Every structure is written in structure tokens, then in C-alpha cells.
Amino acid sequence: MSATPEVTKRSPTRFSIRIIKLGISILYFVRNRFYCLLFPNRTGTCVVLYYHNVPSPYRKRFEQQMRIVADKKAAIDITRIDDLPANTHSIALTFDDALESFAENAVPVLVRLRIPATVFAVADAFGCNPGWGEGYYFPKERVMSSAQLGSLPYSINVGSHTLTHPYLTALSWEAAGEEIKFSRERLEALLHRPITLFSFPHGDFNDSTVRQCQEAGYEHVFTTEPVLVSGGRAQFVVGRVSTDPWDWLLEFYLKIAGAYCWQPYTQAVVRNIRARFSGKKTLRGA
């Protein structure tokens, strides 16, 4: 997730990092194309994108991105990641925080272009100002009301994003369990449909919170680590690629192709270097 351009100062450092990531992704894309030529028979893959807000000034840009997805005829409902056909590459869309700008600017586009999507809702924050997104969202951005969430079209799947959007690993085991379990129960009672998917606020998770999600009955949990889904049945923990309506078109093309999925390799290297210098063992996602 990157901050809405209007609410953050331009930073040469941030711009340089963006260019470096773009350059590496181009190289990774070329490497993947060669790999496909060498090994034409391969398992199905899926890139799961995650958005947050879609502010009104960026509705057209978002629509442009969705037209690219629609033209590729590769968009799938997230529940199909367990059954990816061989030799195909699919795209699944998710939206965290269930914001009003998603309902007002993204949903009409998704419905018109017949693209399925999943929104992850914070079950105790309906109609609230999303304080956790301060510095990222327009100040007027709000979380959808429960009535708005309930009136979303059926092509929009709903998952849980906890009760209050905390850093789960900073909570006690009991408190984290309540956020995970009760948010599911509250959304099911509100929507009268099963809630089987969960995404970690702030991308913050560890082995303990993953286990608690399994015990709470979720079928998949979603992180912010850009990992491609590959093979017949997806892992319980599914990675996603951060995407925004203000992404450059080249960035967007590379993201939907899975070319930003090199980042976990470098993150693992950085974690190992840090662990070596600090002398501590690293935790996944901490």
C-alpha cells in the first residue's frame, strides 16, 4: 500500500525505490518469459492483488486498469485459487478496509466489467474514520456502513479484516483470537453468508496468528507479501501484491503478470542479514 499521492510529500528516496523495483521487475518478467519458453507445460499460477482506497480523482485510472484485466479474460473469483488450470495465469482482486471509496468508485466499474473481487471488512468499524490509515488516505475517507456492505452485489465476496484493525502480533493470544474469531461471527450474522477468508491488518502475522485463523475455521488467510499462487491447491497463507489506482501502467502490467513477486527473496535476505547482526531468530511476517 502506498499513500494517496495528494496526502504525501514527494520524496526522491521513495521515487528512487519505485524505479529500482520497476527495473528489477522488468528483469524478472524477462526471466519468467524465458522460463515459460523452456518449460511450456507448467502448473497454473495466480497473482492476487490488494488495493485499499479508490478515491474519486483516480476512478478513471482504476477503470483503465480494470479494462486491461477484463481484456485478458484472466480475472477469477478468489475462491478458485485452489483449482488453477495448468498453463494458465489468473488474476484475483482484493480490497482491504471496506472503504466508501471502494463502494462508490470501484464497485460500479467491477460490476460493469464483470470482474469478481473480495473486500476485507473491519467488523467493528462501520461508518468510522479509518484512523489506522492516517497519512495514507484522504481525511474525508470513511469505512462503509454496515448497510453499504450488506448491499454489495453478490459478485463481491466479503472476508474478515478483524474487529478493530490492530497489529495482531502485538496483542495477547486471547485478544488476537477474539479479533480473528468474533469478526467472522459478526460478519456472518450481518451478511447471512459464510465468511471463510481473512486478511491480516498491516500485513502483520506470525505462526501463532496463522494457527488461530485455522482454528477459527478460515479457509485462506491473506498477507501483504508478494508471493505468486502456484500449483493445484493454494497454501493456507496466500501472498498478495500491493496495487494502487495511481500505479504507472507499466507497473500495473508487470504486477498482474506476477513480475513483482521477486520481493520475498530479497526480504528473506534482508531478514537473515538483520538476524545475523542482531543475533536473533526471525519470525515470518513480524
State the residue number with the nearest CB to Zn ion.
Answer: 96
Q: Toward Zn ion, which CB reaches closer, 29 or 132?
A: 132
Tell whether residue 97 is a contact of Zn ion (CB under 5 A).
yes
Q: Toward Zn ion, which CB reaches closer, 90 or 212?
A: 212
Q: Toward Zn ion, which CB reaches closer, 97 or 251?
A: 97
Nearest approach, Cβ of 262 to Zn ion (angstroms)? 24
Tell me which residues in 120-149 interact with Zn ion (CB under 5 A): none
Tell me which residues in 180-209 interact with Zn ion (CB under 5 A): 201
Which listed residue (49, 63, 96, 244) binds Zn ion by CB under 5 A? 96
Q: Toward Zn ion, which CB reaches closer, 63 or 96?
A: 96
Say how many C-beta atoms besides its own lie within 10 A of residue 228's C-beta: 21
Nearest approach, Cβ of 209 to Zn ion (angstroms)? 15
Cα-Cα-Cα-Cα torsion 121, 123, 127, 128, nearest 10 degrees, comes to: -100
CB 188 within 8 A of CB 149: no
| Nearest in space to 164 (alpha carbons), one of 202, 135, 197, 193 | 202
* Angle made by CA atoms 220, 280, 17, in degrees to the nearest 5: 65
Q: Toward Zn ion, which CB reaches closer, 202 or 271?
A: 202
* Interface region with Zn ion, contact rule CB under 5 A, candidates 90-98, 173-181, 229-237, 256-264: 90-98
Q: Rounded distance, CA 139 to CA 134, Å? A: 8
* Interface region with Zn ion, contact rule CB under 5 A, candidates 58-66, 91-99, 134-142, 179-187: 91-99
What are the cell numbers at 242?
Answer: 500491493
* Interface region with Zn ion, contact rule CB under 5 A, candidates 32-40, 55-63, 84-92, 95-103: 95-103
Nearest approach, Cβ of 120 to Zn ion (angstroms)? 7
Q: H or E stretch including 120?
A: strand 117-121
Q: By rule CB under 5 A, what count of residues binds Zn ion? A: 3
Distances (CA, A) of 15 to 94, 107, 123: 25, 30, 35
Q: Toward Zn ion, which CB reaches closer, 94 or 263?
A: 94
Say how many C-beta atoms besides its own lie within 10 A of residue 26's C-beta: 13
What residues are paired with 51 via a beta bridge?
Answer: 95
Q: H or E stretch including 210?
A: helix 207-215
| Nearest in space to 216 (alpha carbons), one of 177, 159, 260 | 177
* Interface region with Zn ion, contact rule CB under 5 A, candidates 54-62, 66-74, 80-88, 89-97: 89-97
CB 218 within 8 A of CB 209: no
Nearest approach, Cβ of 237 to Zn ion (angstroms)? 17
Cα 207 from chain centre = 19
Q: Toward Zn ion, which CB reaches closer, 238 or 259?
A: 238
By the criterion CB under 5 A, which residues form the site for Zn ion?
96-97, 201
